[in-house]
């Protein structure tokens, strides 16, 4: 049996997918989690073969969960998303995600991806992969993206500085560089653009 942890903050989608996957003879759903923090804790406790993670969850998103689990245990992760943006795919693959597919796929296809990943393979939805190859590269540095990520919920410069162990002036310099590169006027505009393009 392939032991699967399922994490999605939308209860109806989570329970429906779990019910459909339980119809498969070789898949056992060992946990259903409502957010990223719960998914990390339950995965460490249960050590499933595969974690099926929604990308858009409160707190930790699916890619962040996968990155944490990669450091802690051999569980393989598949990320599903409603908005398969190319930048997110690149971030997911860099975090060690073994599978990436849109939520529009039916349960049988999801089960096949789980099997492939559990057997040591990888799967990236072909349409998402094609979009990723044609998408423009992110012009921001890793540290500039860290600053946007740390301030995505409206945190102050001082809060971002504390979170990243930087001086407030350094944070302001990074924000200024981001706005210059993107041709924008505010940090919030930069956060929105970076999220839309899947850079953060």
pLDDT greater than 70 at residue 22: yes
What is the count of structural domains for the chain? 2
Q: Which domain holds residue 8?
A: 2-134
Domain with 191 in it: what CATH number? 1.10.10.10
Cα separations (Å) of 7 from 39, 47, 57, 79, 146?
6, 14, 9, 10, 25
Average pLDDT, the chain: 91
Residue 132 clears pLDDT 80, i.e. is over it: no
Helices (H), 106-156: 107-118, 126-134, 142-150
Query: In Å, how far are 62, 114, 175 from 99, measured between CA atoms?
Result: 12, 8, 33
Q: Do 86 and 106 belong together in one domain?
A: yes
88-92, 101-105, 154-158: segment of lowest average pLDDT: 88-92
Kindly state whether residues 58 and 127 are assigned to the same domain: yes
Q: What is the pTM of this model?
A: 0.69
CATH number at residue 64: 3.40.50.2300
My answer on whether 124 and 146 are in the same domain is: no
- Cβ-in-10-Å burial (0-12, 13-18, 19+) of 30 comes to middle
From residue 151, alpha-carbon distances to 87, 92, 148 in Å are 19, 21, 5
């Amino acid at each position: 049996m392939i032991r699967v942890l399922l994490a999605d903050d939308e209860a109806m989608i989570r329970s429906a997918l779990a019910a459909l996957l339980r119809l498969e003879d070789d898949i056992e759903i060992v946990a259903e989690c409502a957010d990223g923090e719960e998914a990390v804790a339950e995965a460490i406790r249960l050590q499933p073969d595969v974690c099926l993670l929604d990308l858009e969850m409160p707190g930790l998103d699916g890619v962040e969960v996968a990155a944490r689990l990669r450091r802690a245990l051999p569980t393989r992760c598949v990320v599903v998303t409603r908005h398969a943006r190319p930048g997110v795919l690149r971030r997911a693959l860099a975090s060690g995600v073994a599978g990436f597919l849109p939520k529009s796929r039916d349960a049988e296809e999801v089960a096949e991806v789980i099997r492939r990943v559990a057997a040591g393979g990888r799967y990236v939805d072909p349409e998402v992969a094609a979009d990723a190859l044609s998408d423009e590269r992110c012009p921001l540095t890793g540290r500039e993206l860290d600053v946007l990520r740390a301030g995505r919920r409206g945190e102050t410069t001082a809060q971002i500085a504390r979170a990243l162990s930087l001086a407030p002036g350094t944070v302001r310099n990074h924000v200024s560089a981001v706005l210059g590169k993107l041709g924008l006027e505010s940090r919030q505009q930069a956060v929105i653009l970076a999220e839309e393009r899947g850079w953060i």
